[in-house]
Amino acid sequence: MQSNHSNVLPSPRTQIALSFFCIAAAALISTGCSALPLASTAGTIEDAAPTDSGQYQVKMETFGGSKMYRGSIEGPMTIQTALERSGAIKKYRNMEVELYRKVEGAYQPLKMLAIYDAGKKMVRPETDYGLLAGDSILVKTKSDNPLNKVMGSFTQ
């Protein structure tokens, strides 16, 4: 008596489709959710960005909500100056800082990370970008909690 094990194996088309699905899933996981256009938080910041020339905004996110600060660019200004004027340095002990800049012809704004040194209470000079009219700065609490570090590695 012969067994019917040949019908249990997937067809070559099914194997190719499963292989493609696995490769696509691995690529999505390795690039993170930022590869998906709808997963970005930049759109919500940019939608509310000031349109007047010489204006910038700082959005400070906390667990309970967010607070928006709008300021004027007076002469050469950097992220550090904007954080000082908005009160973010006094409010946060440690923070993650992202600059969103609208680029002509691009659907989403350019995201530029700024590294904040909590010990010196300053944005590191190599990432303390100059501000242009319409720039948006997003400030989030950065926790040194080991559990948050582990969970953050899954969300990035």
The confidence score (pLDDT) of residue 48 equals: 47
Cross-strand bridge partners of residue 100? 111, 136
Residue 59 CB-density burial (10 A; 0-12 exposed, 13-18 middle, 19+ buried):
buried
pLDDT by residue (tens digit) across 42-51? 444 544 444 4
Residue 96's DSSP bridge partners are 140
Give the per-residue pLDDT at 36. Answer: 44
Mean pLDDT of 105-119: 94
The reply to whether 49 and 32 lie within a common domain is no
Using one digit for the tens of pLDDT, what is the confidence trace for 78-110?
999 999 999 999 998 899 999 999 999 999 999
Q: Are residues 77 and 140 in the same domain?
A: yes
Residue 11 and residue 33 share a domain = yes
Q: Are residues 98 and 58 in the same domain?
A: yes
Same domain? For 55 and 17 the reply is: no
Say what the pLDDT of residue 67 is.
Answer: 92
Q: Which domain holds residue 20?
A: 5-37
How many structural domains compose the chain? 2
pLDDT over threshold 60, residue 37: no
Instruction: Quote the CA–CA distance of 45 and 113 in Å, as a whole number.
Output: 15
Instruction: Give dist(CA 118, CA 44) in Å, integer.
Output: 27
Same domain for 95 and 125: yes
What the block records as the tokens of 75 is: 């002469």
Least confident of 26-40, 63-77, 101-115, 141-155: 26-40
Report how far apart the first and last C-alpha atoms of the chain are (Å, whole number).
Answer: 55
Burial class (CB in 10 A: 0-12, 13-18, 19+), 155: exposed
What pLDDT is stored for residue 90 in this prediction? 92
pLDDT at site 43 = 40
Pick 80 or 27 by higher pLDDT: 80
**Is there a single domain that holds both residue 51 and residue 105?**
yes
**Which residues touch 124 (CB under 8 Å, ≥6 apart)?**
114, 115, 116, 117
Q: What is the CATH number of the domain that holds 69?
A: 3.10.560
Is residue 19 scored above 80 in pLDDT? no
Structure tokens at 89: 């340095």
E strand segments, the chain: 55-62, 65-72, 95-101, 110-114, 116-117, 122-123, 136-141
CB 130 within 8 A of CB 78: yes
User: Based on the domain organization, do 65 and 110 belong to the same domain?
Assistant: yes
